[in-house]
């Protein structure tokens, strides 16, 4: 399996295991959207550490996963972006603002807790 | 050097025109005896324990090239080719630790080897020998100076670069307390250094699991568009890793420059001074309760 | 050490080995982790353009050595329809597919040198190079460490 998707309480945790092709990224997008609706997840964490690079296509896909998830009632947090990958990502003039990020799983979980508790958020 | 020559009257400042014909004879002699003279030179180099970091094969091939360039320079009176070769050679051997005295040593050895050979060759005719040496010495000295100076200049260039690298490497990323880093930037920010700082900072974020980084640019005098954009990208890259960045110490002059350059500061969190930045950082960290005691402690005055 | 790596590109699945090979070659040539990632990212964009805009083509990655520097050259070629307005295509936001048009300008920014040769009859060849930074300084530092 190239992506392990676990359920933890109200959250889904998608842990990418290997570098993905574009079609696999799109499959993941559809799969996550479907699952969020099915289990009524309120939060989604995607661990992208196994991706070799996050180029404009992958960054855009992650953004659209986040937007789709929100439409289906879940907040998305991306985790596992390495320094070199982050440096490459900011070279594209992409609007990365829709991507919420956290340093690791613990951080991602507590960020989701905050986001899904009240509406209160002043995250930059 | 080429003073009062007996047969001619024109002490040219360039190559001693006076002795052109003798130089030709000299050059022919050096070409005819290339093999032995070159070997003799290598033997003397080895004996003097010069160029110890190089293998015998390397020494032999460099020596051959220098010898041939040397003879060409004698013949044409132009040292440009030799100079270029000397630069190139220096660039190759400096990183391997060859020292100035070794380079000086080998060119002086070549001068001696050749002078001695000339002496042996022409000793039966003292007058001819004298004139040959008169022709040889100034040219040989000029060549020795050229090679040595090329080496020294190259070495100075390398040292300058090294110093620059050390200065760059010395910008510290400080951990103030759990999960909070400060990057104080001092001095001139060019894009190479900005890039390096970014890598350092992002690496430190990962290593320290930092949540907030305060980038203090009080010590930065000026900024241009490239560097400003780099700063914006650094802040964004830090965010992608899950850390918030706060910029402090933005002087009004730099702020004005950034506005004039049209840099998009909307994504940047800026706070007047470092003190204020740290307080803001504490607030951000305390805002998210995590496993360890990262509540805002009373540290911030 | 390998000096040339060829990767045929005919579907999006081929991007995965293309990135991996590019990164591996960059590391073999002594590029930093960050530079290897920048290179792999640029490869990804250019190889995707082949799949999306030209169907198939090939990447050739070569390590090159000049007197005082090492580099990695990537030549991506295809026999597709060519890029009609190459100058605008190199600017951000120009696309023929209602995409964002970030691929070419992004890849260009990630590399040190970037050239596109394109022709409706012959197809497109992108040649991009990254130089290994500060070779000489690295050698000096290594040597100082050895001595210390
Ligand atoms: N190999 C190619 N063959 C033919 N046309 C190409 C090729 N590469 C790029 N192009 C053309 O250049 C345009 C710009 O390419 P670029 O990669 O910047 O954007 P894009 O592929 O359209 O969008 P994005 O990469 O952001 O998804 C493309 O829309 C396409 O028309
Ligand atoms: Mg593209």
Write down the domain spans for chain A.
3-116
Contact C47, C124 (CB under 8 A): no
Q: How confident is the model at residue B300 (pLDDT cuts 50, 70, 90)?
A: very low
Provide the pLDDT for residue A11.
97
Contact C80, C87 (CB under 8 A): no
| B244 and A CB contact within 8 Å | yes
d(C-alpha B96, C-alpha A88), whole Å:
34
Pocket of ligand 1 (CB under 6 A): A 56; C 49-50, 52-54, 78, 80-83, 89, 94-97, 99-104, 124
* Nearest residue by C-alpha to atom 29 in ligand 1: C95
Provide the pLDDT for residue A74.
97
pLDDT higher than threshold 80 for residue B47: yes
Q: Of the ranges A110-114, A117-121, B240-244, B245-249, which one carries the lowest mean pLDDT score? A: A117-121
Provide the pLDDT for residue B204.
93
Q: Which of C83, C124, C127 to mutate to test the pocket of ligand 1 (most atoms within 8 A of CB)?
A: C83
Provide the pLDDT for residue C93.
77
Tens of pLDDT, residue by residue over B141-158, are 888 888 888 889 888 888
Provide the pLDDT for residue C6.
97
d(C-alpha B178, C-alpha B183), whole Å:
15
Subunit contact B241:A101, Cβ cutoff 8 A: yes
d(C-alpha B260, C-alpha B257), whole Å:
5
Which run of H or E residues covers position B249?
A: none
Determine the distance in angstroms separating the CA of C137 from the nearest CA of chain B, rounded to an integer: 7
Q: What would be the CATH architecture of the domain defined by B12-163?
A: Orthogonal Bundle (1.10)
Provide the pLDDT for residue C142.
56
* Strand runs labelled E in B189-296: 212-219, 244-248, 269-271
Subunit contact A55:C48, Cβ cutoff 8 A: yes
Distance of CA C89 from the midpoint of ligand 2 (Å): 10
Provide the pLDDT for residue B167.
63
By Cβ distance, the residue of C137, C143, C147 closest to B165 is: C137
CA-wise closest residue to C74 among C4, C133, C135, C10: C4
Provide the pLDDT for residue B253.
87
End-to-end CA distance of chain C: 30
Contact C73, C119 (CB under 8 A): no
Average pLDDT, chain C: 88
pLDDT higher than threshold 90 for residue C58: yes
Subunit contact B165:C134, Cβ cutoff 8 A: yes
Share of chain B above pLDDT 90, in %: 27
pLDDT higher than threshold 80 for residue B189: no
CA dihedral B272, B273, B276, B281 (to 10 degrees): 100
Fold entry, domain C4-147: Heat Shock Protein 90 (3.30.565)
Provide the pLDDT for residue B292.
36
Rg (CA), chain B: 32
**Class of CATH domain B174-285:** alpha beta
d(C-alpha A65, C-alpha A54), whole Å:
14
Share of chain C above pLDDT 70, in %: 87
Q: Which of C59, C81, C101, C109 to mutate to test the pocket of ligand 1 (most atoms within 8 A of CB)?
A: C101
Write down the domain spans for chain C.
4-147
Write down the domain spans for chain B.
12-163, 174-285
Q: How confident is the model at residue C13 (pLDDT cuts 50, 70, 90)?
A: very high
Q: How confident is the model at residue C2 (pLDDT cuts 50, 70, 90)?
A: low
Distance of CA A77 from the midpoint of ligand 2 (Å): 26
* Among chain A residues, CA nearest to C33: A84
pLDDT higher than threshold 70 for residue A120: no
Three-state DSSP at C59 gives: strand
Provide the pLDDT for residue B74.
83
Provide the pLDDT for residue A28.
97
Provide the pLDDT for residue B170.
62
pTM of the model: 0.71
Q: Which ipTM value was assigned to this complex? A: 0.92
pLDDT higher than threshold 90 for residue A65: yes
Contact C92, C101 (CB under 8 A): yes
Q: What would be the CATH architecture of the domain defined by A3-116?
A: 2-Layer Sandwich (3.30)
Structure tokens given for B106: 């080998």
Average pLDDT, chain B: 82
> Tell me, what DSSP letter sits at residue A56?
H
- Provide the 10 A C-beta neighbour count for residue A120: 7
Provide the pLDDT for residue A18.
97
Contact C76, C46 (CB under 8 A): yes
pLDDT higher than threshold 60 for residue B18: no
Tens of pLDDT, residue by residue over A71-117, are 999 999 999 999 999 999 998 878 888 899 999 999 999 999 999 98
B–C interface: beta-carbon pairs under 8 A: 22
Q: How far is CA B29 from CA B108, B112, B132, in A?
A: 19, 16, 11
pLDDT higher than threshold 90 for residue B243: yes
Structure tokens given for B65: 């090239």
Query: Quick one: average pLDDT of B183-210?
Result: 87
d(C-alpha B176, C-alpha B199), whole Å:
19
d(C-alpha C29, C-alpha C63), whole Å:
7
C39: CB partners within 8 A, 6+ apart: C22, C23, C26, C31, C72, C74, C110, C111, C130
Angle among Cα B144, B125, B33 to the nearest 5 degrees reads 50
Q: How confident is the model at residue C37 (pLDDT cuts 50, 70, 90)?
A: very high
Q: Of the ranges A27-31, A73-77, A107-111, B265-269, which one carries the lowest mean pLDDT score? A: B265-269
Structure tokens given for B259: 């506005």
pLDDT higher than threshold 70 for residue C79: yes
Provide the pLDDT for residue B169.
60
d(C-alpha B122, C-alpha B115), whole Å:
11
Provide the pLDDT for residue B168.
59
Provide the pLDDT for residue B75.
86
pLDDT higher than threshold 50 for residue B9: no
pLDDT higher than threshold 60 for residue B288: no
Locus of tokens 């093999």: B35
Provide the pLDDT for residue C1.
52
């Amino acid at each position: 399996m190239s992506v392990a998707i676990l359920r933890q309480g109200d959250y889904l945790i998608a842990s990418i295991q290997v570098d993905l092709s574009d079609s696999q990224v799109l499959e993941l997008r559809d799969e996550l959207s479907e699952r969020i609706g099915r289990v009524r997840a309120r939060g989604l964490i995607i661990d992208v550490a196994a991706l070799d690079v996050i180029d404009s296509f992958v960054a855009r896909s992650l953004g659209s996963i986040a937007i789709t998830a929100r439409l289906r009632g879940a907040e998305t947090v991306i985790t596992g972006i390495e320094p070199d990958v982050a440096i490459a990502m900011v070279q594209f003039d992409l609007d990365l603002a829709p991507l919420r990020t956290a340093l690791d799983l613990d951080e991602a979980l507590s960020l989701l807790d905050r986001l899904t508790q009240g509406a209160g958020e002043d995250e930059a | 050097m080429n003073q009062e020559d007996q047969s001619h009257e024109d002490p040219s400042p360039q190559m001693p025109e006076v002795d052109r014909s003798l130089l030709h004879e000299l050059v022919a002699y050096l070409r005819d005896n290339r093999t032995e003279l070159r070997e003799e030179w290598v033997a003397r180099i080895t004996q003097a324990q010069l160029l110890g970091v190089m293998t015998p094969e390397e020494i032999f091939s460099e020596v051959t090239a220098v010898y041939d360039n040397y003879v060409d320079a004698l013949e044409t009176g132009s040292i440009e080719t030799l100079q270029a070769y000397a630069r190139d050679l220096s660039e190759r051997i400096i990183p391997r630790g060859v020292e100035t005295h070794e380079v000086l040593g080998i060119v002086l050895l070549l001068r001696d080897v050749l002078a001695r050979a000339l002496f042996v060759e022409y000793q039966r005719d003292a007058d001819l020998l004298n004139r040959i040496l008169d022709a040889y010495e100034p040219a040989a000295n000029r060549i020795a100076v050229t090679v040595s100076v090329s080496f020294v200049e190259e070495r100075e260039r390398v040292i300058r670069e090294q110093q620059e690298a050390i200065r760059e490497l010395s910008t510290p990323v400080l951990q103030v307390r759990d999960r909070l880093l400060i990057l104080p930037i001092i001095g001139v920010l060019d894009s190479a250094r900005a890039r390096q700082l970014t890598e350092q900072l992002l690496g430190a974020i990962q290593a320290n699991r930092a949540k907030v980084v305060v980038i203090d640019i009080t010590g930065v005098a000026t900024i241009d568009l490239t560097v400003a954009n780099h700063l914006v990208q650094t802040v964004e890259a830090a965010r992608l890793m899950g850390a918030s960045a706060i910029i402090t110490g933005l002087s009004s002059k730099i702020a004005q420059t950034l506005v004039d350059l049209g840099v998009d500061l909307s994504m940047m969190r800026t706070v007047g001074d470092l003190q204020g930045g740290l307080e803001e950082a504490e607030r951000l960290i305390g805002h998210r309760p995590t496993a360890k005691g990262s509540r805002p402690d009373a540290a911030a005055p | 050490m390998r000096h040339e790596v060829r990767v045929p590109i005919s579907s999006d699945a081929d991007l995965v080995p293309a990135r991996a090979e590019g990164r591996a070659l960059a590391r073999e040539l002594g590029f930093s982790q960050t530079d290897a990632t920048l290179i792999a990212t640029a490869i990804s964009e250019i190889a995707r353009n082949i799949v999306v805009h030209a169907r198939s083509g090939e990447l050739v990655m070569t390590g090159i050595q000049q007197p005082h520097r090492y580099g990695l050259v990537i030549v991506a070629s295809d026999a597709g329809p060519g890029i009609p307005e190459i100058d605008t295509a190199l600017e951000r936001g120009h696309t023929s597919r209602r995409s964002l048009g970030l691929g070419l300008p992004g890849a260009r920014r990630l590399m040190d040198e970037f050239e596109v040769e394109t022709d409706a009859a012959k197809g497109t060849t992108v040649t991009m190079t990254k130089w290994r930074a500060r070779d000489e300084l690295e050698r000096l530092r290594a040597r100082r460490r050895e001595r210390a």
